Amino acid sequence: MKRLFAAVSVAAVLAAAPAMAQAPDLVAVNGIFDQGFNHSEVMRTAAHLTDRIGGRMTNSPQMRETERWTQERFREWGLSNVRAEGFEFGRGWSIVRSDARMVEPRPLELRAIPVAWTPGTDGTISGEVVLAPMSRVADFDKHRGKLAGKIVMISEPTDAEDPTTPQFRRWTDEELAGRTAYVQPNHAPVTVSRDGGRDNFALRMDEFLASEGALGWVRMSYRDGGLLHGAGYTHRVGATPRLPGMELAAEDYRRLARLSRAGAAPKLELLSEVRFHDEDVNAYNVLADIPGTSRSGEYVMAGAHFDSWVAADGAVDNAAGTAVVMEAARILKALNVRPKRTIRFALWNGEEQGLHGSLAYVDRHLATRAPLGDAELDALPNGQTWRARWPVQPRDGHDDLVAYFNIDNGSGRIRGVNAEGNVAAAAVFEEWLEPFHSLGATTVSLRPAGGTDHVYMQTVGIPGFQFIQDPLDYGSRLHHTSIDSYDHLKPEDLRQAAVVLAGLLLAAANSDEPLPRMPLPTRPTPTDPFTQ
């Protein structure tokens, strides 16, 4: 069904735009297969990023080493114009050690991780817990006067979940076929919050807890099974909270909540030893090129964010994508390709806190957006107002970037491309994917894929795409968790992904015509006509 549908699409578009069709260079594909399957370095790259460097929080010492090491690799492989491009991010933060124990009513080691960008405990702190769930400012009043000297449990405990679906899966052909249909976008009105959203709530809660004399706070992991995350967002200079916060395993948190409700007065000992790193508040994207031989200025780009959280080693999110992008660079360079257009490889920083690195690149090189004309709002971090600002204001380099491919969905092999509603590009992708059908990369979907670094490209009319990857156990148990380590990477899948990516990059760099674009985005009409 999918194949038939695809064939119809291609035929329809080819009739309208015959110049776009171009047979893939199968000899080049042979070279890519050879480098990618017989001389792969992708797992060696991934092992260094995960086992050796470990979790790579933006602006942490581990990320500084990653910024250095990735550039060194690109240079060793002979890429050109290898460089780091800085953007303001905030403070670095890293964990030295941590521990959490229940000491009353009985001794028990708990599973815990410091919440990112909260301060340490300055030695072990010890106190009774108090269950005081809060998720908005209005909740503070309920707990006022009860928190002094306490460790505050800020999450409402939820019931355990029953894992009734397999954690690990691959797309079936039927499921892939089901993804090809166009999905109409939903345009809700974009609102801009003056109080800065989640960062601000974290800071207001911190202020409240500190003023109440609380010792610190713990929250519940949002996944069962003892998994931890530790995500936090208060990384801006001057926005560091006063109290330490730790995340507890759901099972440990729920036990504490039950004991507390049953009157057993559980008491905790918490140790969080963390460091802040303020030497440089800039984070750096790493860029490297294979220069084009003609069509001066035009380039195609592949990117992946190379920062991660620190509950484990940031393997599937996103050493996987990083290693695939780097491997595609290595493959193409090893083949000594001479593409018409430049091929650029980008490793984005600060993705986990809001796609900061790719937005910085977009704003610097591709397009910006008009200010709102409200001094307070226009002083907010770029990403907080970006979507509310119109019109898009293309920069000089806007037309140069003809296609952007992003990888950030774990270590599952590439099963196709999400064409983001770009029907004309979809028809081209059908052609370009042909040599990779035998690797399982068959599907062109018109769907959008959100949540990662191609998104800001899309907001300014750059053809930016994320691949369809086999989901494996990315979303179910690895994404941002304490078990996101090298063991759960799939070597065959990552080799395949690097081969497919290298192939598409080369096709995009050498095609006679640039990949078709969507019209430059303008303010959408709200889907619900009764909103404004």
> Where does this chain bind a second copy (CB under 8 A)?
47, 51-54, 62, 95-99, 101, 105-109, 111, 113, 159-160, 162-169, 224-227, 249-251, 254-255, 258-259, 262, 264, 312-313, 472-473, 476-477, 482-483, 485-488
CB of 315 to a second copy, least distance (A): 9
Q: Which residues pair with 152 in a beta bridge?
A: 130, 217
Closer CB to a second copy, 83 or 97, in the complex? 97
Nearer to a second copy, 169 or 365 (CB): 169
319 secondary structure, DSSP code: I
Instruction: Pick the closer one to a second copy by CB: 24 or 245.
Output: 245
As measured in angstroms, the least distance from the Cβ of 311 to a second copy is 10
Residue with Cβ nearer a second copy (268 or 508): 268
Q: Which is nearer to a second copy, 236 or 490 (CB)?
A: 490
Instruction: Put the strands of the sheet holding 108-110 in their side by side order.
Output: 108-110, 92-104, 267-277, 125-131, 151-153, 216-220, 245-248, 112-114
For residue 84, the minimal CB distance to a second copy (Å) is: 22
Residues 6+ apart with CB under 8 A from 139: 133
105: preceding bond cis by omega (within 30 degrees): yes
Nearer to a second copy, 341 or 495 (CB): 495
CA dihedral 357, 287, 72, 479 (to 10 degrees): 40
**CB-wise, 122 or 528, nearer to a second copy?**
122
Q: Which two tokens stand for residue 334?
A: 């090893």
Tokens of 234: 């208060």
Q: Which is nearer to a second copy, 3 or 258 (CB)?
A: 258
What is the layout of strands, in order, in the sheet containing 80-88? 80-88, 282-290, 342-348, 299-305, 401-406, 464-469, 414-418, 443-445
Contacts of 510 (CB under 8 A, 6+ apart): 25, 339, 340, 341
Q: What SS3 state is found at 389? A: coil
Asked whether the beta carbons of 499 and 302 are under 8 A apart, the reply is: no
In the DSSP assignment, the letter for residue 126 is: E
Bridge partner list, 287: 83, 346
Q: What angle do CA 403, 406, 407 make, to 5 degrees?
A: 150
Other CB atoms within 10 Å distance of the CB of residue 65:
14
Q: Least separation, in Å, of the C-beta of 476 and a second copy?
A: 8
- Shortest Å, Cβ 52 to a second copy: 7
Is the CA virtual torsion 380, 386, 392, 395 positive or negative? positive
> Is 169 or 447 the residue whose CB approaches a second copy more closely?
169
Task: Please state the closest distance from residue 267 (CB atom) to a second copy, in A.
Answer: 14
Looking at the Cβ atoms of 264 and 370, the one nearer to a second copy is: 264
Give 532: exposed, middle or buried? Use CB within 10 Å, 0-12, 13-18, 19+: exposed
C-alpha neighbours within 13 Å on the C-beta side of residue 76: 9
Cβ-based nearer residue to a second copy, 259 or 457:
259
C-beta of 2: minimal distance to a second copy in Å? 23
Least distance (Å) between residue 46 CB and a second copy = 11
Q: In angstroms, what is the minimal distance from the CB of 169 to a second copy?
A: 7
CB of 104 to a second copy, least distance (A): 12
What 3-state class would DSSP assign to 482? Answer: coil
Report, in Å, the least distance between residue 99 CB and a second copy.
6
